[in-house]
């Protein structure tokens, strides 16, 4: 009989310094976000230590007094009655803490001194995000992009590591594969540069392959193809909305950065023109610049789209900050010119029906033209579906086509590329009143018997 192995809980502490130019609301939101990031990595945050300072301590990030407080807490253990409100109950009165999470990016020397002072491993915010990306990357392109970001994060830290290592880090030798006068650290840095260059070449090759595949897809589908990209803050419900709009099984998880690889599916029920929906990686405040750059190819789905659905968590008190972050990242990748619809999702998480109605009215007043909905309500998904279809049908024109009995093999093309408004039959064949793109209608007309098309206007006027 097999017994289920229970995974050992992993406990984390959080430390953060509030600078004078950071408001209390923004500070609390950032701490809450770091706790969610920790949850994604499998940590339970037990205690949070905060300190107000004019600047970070250059030696160990926190001031001396706060360092002593954290060290005492780590070394003497903790009891359940000492936990912060809302913190998880511990399985025993005394625990060993796995990590101290810092809500900023700190230098290697600060991290080392902080670790020595408190007696606990340290991860800064950037390292946490990189680790999440590393764990969640699935495709070859995403894994390569994450590795570039991780190596870029490590490279400047090798210089700091050499300073901490002292004379050993500056040893010179011509042995062991190193060039004359090349130190251990210089060799490591060269390896990092070579590996980054190798990965960049791989990504360029993959980008060319994706562009070829995209061109073939467009060629197969013809010109009647629309593109929609879901963008927005991580955990805003993009994947749930993607599944609802496309009827597909995509990963849905209540954690940050559950989706890293771009997923493309057709809008369902299908429409004319056919619309492809893509789900992109979520944005987050203080996303490492290396990740923004390395994930540019992933986010390029947003550049290719004719329409962006900017998904926002309507139930999050900090949604304004999330709006700003998304706008900044979209501007950084050059997607801020693409037409956009703001979709306030998760309205069902806002109180009772009366509170939901009041918040919906306020959002619609603040952001005219926005959509307020829940991706778990079929009727509201259907309404958004109709809005998307209407966007892509605004340039369609109505026309009349006669499909002769001798060309019935083109019936499928008419239904695939046009919205059929009416169909009638008579001696010459089937008459269609259709709505479609002008270029596609012209192409269909050329394939049909040109001698029969002159009677269309006369037929529909009778």
Q: Is residue 59 scored above 60 in pLDDT? A: yes
Question: 94 and 77 in contact (C-beta within 8 Å)?
Answer: yes
DSSP state of 9: P
Provide the angle, in degrees to the nearest 10, between the axes of the packed helices 238-246 and 378-393: 70
- Reported as a single tens digit per residue, the pLDDT across 2-36 is 444 456 778 999 999 999 999 998 899 889 889 98
Nearest Cα residue to 183 out of 196, 172, 194: 172
Instruction: Beginning with the edge strand found earlier in the chain, give each strand of the sheet holding 43-52 in spatial order.
Output: 43-52, 10-18, 99-102, 122-124
* 3 state DSSP class of 18: strand
Segment 294-317 mean pLDDT: 78
pTM (global) more than 0.75: no
Q: What is the pLDDT of residue 262?
A: 64
Question: 69 and 114 in contact (C-beta within 8 Å)?
Answer: no
Nearest Cα residue to 120 out of 46, 58, 56: 46
Nearest-angstrom CA–CA distance, 303 and 299: 7
The dihedral formed by the CA atoms of 369, 352, 251 and 43, expressed in degrees to the nearest 10: 120
Q: What is the pLDDT of residue 6?
A: 53
Kind and range of the H or E run holding 313: strand 307-313
* Residue 258: band (very low, low, confident or very high) from pLDDT cuts 50, 70, 90: very low
Nearest Cα residue to 146 out of 293, 279, 258: 293
Helices (H) and strands (E) in the chain, counts: 15, 13
Q: Is residue 411 scored above 60 in pLDDT? A: yes
Provide the angle, in degrees to the nearest 10, between the axes of the packed helices 296-304 and 140-165: 140
Question: 230 and 282 in contact (C-beta within 8 Å)?
Answer: no
* Residue 162: band (very low, low, confident or very high) from pLDDT cuts 50, 70, 90: low
Q: What is the pLDDT of residue 450?
A: 56
The alpha-carbon radius of gyration of the chain (Å, integer) is 29
Question: 197 and 268 in contact (C-beta within 8 Å)?
Answer: no
Q: What is the pLDDT of residue 203?
A: 81
Kind and range of the H or E run holding 292: helix 289-294
Q: What is the pLDDT of residue 351?
A: 92
Nearest-angstrom CA–CA distance, 246 and 278: 10
Q: What is the pLDDT of residue 345?
A: 97
Kind and range of the H or E run holding 242: helix 238-246
* 3 state DSSP class of 434: strand
Nearest Cα residue to 341 out of 236, 247, 231: 231
Higher pLDDT, 283 or 45: 45
**How many other CB atoms are there within 10 angstroms of residue 123's CB atom?**
23
- Reported as a single tens digit per residue, the pLDDT across 338-350 is 899 999 999 999 9
- Reported as a single tens digit per residue, the pLDDT across 68-109 is 999 999 987 665 555 554 555 555 556 678 999 999 999 888
Q: Is residue 125 scored above 70 in pLDDT? A: yes
Q: What is the pLDDT of residue 220?
A: 46
Instruction: Beginning with the edge strand found earlier in the chain, give each strand of the sheet holding 340-345 in spatial order.
Output: 263-266, 274-279, 225-232, 307-313, 340-345, 371-372
Nearest-angstrom CA–CA distance, 350 and 361: 13
Query: What does the chain come to in residues?
Result: 462
Which stretches of 148-247 are assigned E, i.e. beta strand? 225-232
Nearest-angstrom CA–CA distance, 53 and 392: 53
Kind and range of the H or E run holding 196: helix 184-221
- Reported as a single tens digit per residue, the pLDDT across 212-241 is 766 665 554 445 567 898 988 888 888 899
Residue 458 to residues 429, 449, 454: CA-CA distances in angstroms? 15, 17, 8
Q: Is residue 462 scored above 50 in pLDDT? A: no
Range among 213-227, 243-257, 397-411 rated most confident? 397-411
DSSP state letters, 89-146 = PPSSSS----EEEESS---HHHHHHHHHHHTS-EEEHHHHHHHHHHHH--SHHHHHHH
* Residue 376: band (very low, low, confident or very high) from pLDDT cuts 50, 70, 90: very high
Q: What is the pLDDT of residue 264?
A: 79
Nearest-angstrom CA–CA distance, 282 and 318: 16
Q: What is the pLDDT of residue 87?
A: 57
Q: Is residue 286 scored above 50 in pLDDT? A: yes
Contacts of 212 (CB under 8 A, 6+ apart): none
Residue 386 to residues 271, 272, 310, 380, 397: CA-CA distances in angstroms? 10, 12, 17, 10, 18
End-to-end CA distance of the chain: 81
């Amino acid at each position: 009989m097999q017994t289920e192995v229970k995974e050992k809980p992993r406990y984390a502490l959080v430390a953060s310094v509030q600078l004078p130019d950071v408001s209390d609301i923004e500070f609390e939101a950032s701490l809450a976000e770091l706790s969610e990031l920790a949850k994604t990595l499998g940590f339970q945050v037990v205690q949070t230590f905060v300190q107000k300072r004019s600047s970070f301590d250059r030696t160990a990030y926190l001031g001396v007094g706060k360092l002593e407080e954290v060290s005492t807490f780590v070394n003497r253990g903790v009891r359940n009655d000492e936990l912060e409100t809302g913190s998880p109950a511990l399985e025993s009165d005394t625990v060993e803490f796995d990590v101290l999470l810092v809500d900023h990016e700190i230098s290697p020397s600060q991290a080392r001194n902080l670790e020595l002072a408190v007696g606990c491993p340290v991860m800064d915010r950037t390292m946490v995000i990189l680790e999440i990306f590393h764990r969640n990357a699935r495709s070859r392109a995403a894994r390569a992009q994450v590795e570039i970001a991780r190596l870029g994060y490590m490279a400047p830290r090798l210089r700091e590591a050499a300073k901490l290592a002292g004379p050993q880090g500056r040893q010179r030798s011509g042995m062991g594969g190193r060039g004359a006068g090349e130190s251990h650290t210089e060799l490591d840095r060269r390896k990092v540069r070579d590996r980054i260059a190798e990965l960049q070449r791989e990504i360029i090759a993959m980008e060319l392959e994706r562009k070829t595949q995209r061109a073939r897809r467009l060629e197969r589908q013809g010109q009647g193809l629309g593109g929609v990209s879901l963008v927005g803050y991580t955990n805003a419900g993009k994947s749930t909305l993607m599944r609802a709009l496309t009827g597909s099984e995509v990963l849905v998880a209540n954690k940050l950065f559950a989706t890293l690889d771009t997923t493309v599916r057709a809008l369902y029920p299908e429409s004319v023109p056919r619309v492809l929906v893509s789900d992109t990686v979520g944005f987050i405040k203080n996303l490492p610049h290396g990740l923004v750059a390395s994930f540019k190819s992933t986010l390029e789905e947003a550049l290719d789209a004719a329409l962006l659905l900017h998904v926002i968590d309507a139930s999050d008190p900090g949604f304004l900050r999330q709006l700003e972050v998304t706008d900044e990242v979209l501007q950084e990748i050059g997607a801020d010119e693409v037409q956009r619809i703001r979709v306030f999702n998760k309205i069902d998480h806002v109180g009772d029906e009366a509170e939901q109605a009041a918040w919906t009215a306020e959002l619609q007043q603040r952001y005219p033209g926005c959509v307020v909905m829940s991706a778990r309500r079929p009727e509201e998904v259907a309404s958004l579906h109709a809005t998307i279809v209407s966007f892509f049908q605004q340039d369609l024109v109505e026309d009349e086509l006669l499909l002769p009995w001798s060309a019935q093999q083109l019936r499928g093309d008419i239904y695939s590329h046009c919205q059929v408004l009416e169909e009638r039959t008579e001696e010459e064949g089937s008459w269609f009143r259709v709505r479609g793109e002008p270029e596609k209608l012209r192409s269909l007309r050329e394939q049909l018997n040109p001698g029969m098309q002159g009677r269309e206007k006369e037929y529909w006027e009778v």
